[in-house]
Amino acid sequence: MSRWLDLLLGLFKWPVAILAFVSLPALVHALDYLRLDNLRFFAFLGGAFVYLALKILAAARSNISMQILAHELTHTFFALLTFHKVVHIHLNMDESGGSMGFRGKGNWLITIAPYFFPLFLFFLMLFATFFAEKIPDSLIVNGVFGYFFAYHVESILVQIHGEQPDFKEVGFPFCWLFLPGANLFMCTAVLAFNNGGWLSVERYMRAVYLLNWQNINELLRYFTN
């Protein structure tokens, strides 16, 4: 099963990268559909500022081990998601990095996932969904999302650089095409969830879809007239 899925993902690698790139205008335009003028968003911002304040007070290298762990766990999550058996996860004691291993050839999604996918936020979103009845509708919850959002953004900024071996594996042209749109989509999806749960995420995705088609139709009219 994993081999066939790797093959299928390989076929979709460049179409997905091109789609992410051409969707950038729609992703930016769709920000207008997000409600950023309410208490939930301000609590979200408060959580982000708390993270930044703690980061400054605790010194710059305070969460490198957590970033490495999150990085390897994200590789692991997508390996399992594409039906690969994970055989090991290793973190270097000197905080210089880590590694994980799985059976099979693998695919580009496993390799590139830590550079756009907010693993901790995703599981927080699932937790908030399944335990919605037991979690009070409190601004503290939005603050927690903001805290981990800031952590995710910082982790991405730290990890994205020209010496990443994962980037060399999937190819730098692919990274330049795919990562900006993938990161913008993930971050705005989290903002949408913070405001209104999965229904808000669905509305945001629908807005991106419609704006993409509008932009494509305008380009076609431009080149055909």
Burial, 18: exposed, middle or buried (Cβ in 10 Å; 0-12, 13-18, 19+)? Answer: middle
Give, for all 225 residues of the chain, the pLDDT tens digit: 788 989 999 999 999 999 999 999 999 988 888 878 889 999 999 999 999 998 887 765 556 778 888 999 999 999 999 999 999 888 776 666 777 888 888 999 999 999 999 999 999 999 988 876 666 667 888 999 999 999 999 999 989 988 899 999 999 999 999 999 999 999 999 999 998 889 999 999 999 999 999 988 887 887 787
C-alpha torsion angle, residues 207, 210, 216, 217 (rounded to 10)? -140
Tell me the β-bridge partners of 89: 100
Cβ contacts of 53 within 8 Å, gap of 6 or more: none
Residue 215 lies in a domain: no
Domain housing 158:
2-12+36-197
Q: How far is it, in rounded angstroms, from Cα 132 to Cα 134?
A: 5
CA 195, 199, 205, 210 torsion: positive or negative?
negative
Residue at 28 is within a domain: no
Quick check: is 216 in a domain?
no
Q: Can you give the pLDDT at residue 204? A: 92
Answer yes or no: is 221 within a domain: no
Concatenating the DSSP letter of every residue in the chain gives -HHHHHHHHHHHHHHHHHHHHHTHHHHHHGGGGS--SSHHHHHHHHHHHHHHHHHHHH-TTTTHHHHHHHHHHHHHHHHHHTTPPEEEEEE-TTSS-EEEEESS---HHHHHGGGT--HHHHHHHHHHHHTTTTS---HHHHHHHHHHHHHHHHHHHHH-STT-HHHHHH-HHHHHHHHHHHHHHHHHHHHHHHHHHHHHHHHHHHHHHHHHHHHHHHHHHHHH-
Are the CB atoms for 148 and 141 separated by under 8 Å? Answer: no
Give a yes or no: residue 203 inside a domain.
Answer: no
Which amino acid would we find at residue 38?
Answer: N
Give me the count of residues in the chain: 225
17 in any annotated domain:
no
In the chain, the number of structural domains is: 1
pTM: 0.90
pLDDT at 131: 79
Q: Could you tell me if residue 23 is inside a domain?
A: no
pLDDT value of position 219 = 78
Residue 87 belongs to a domain: yes
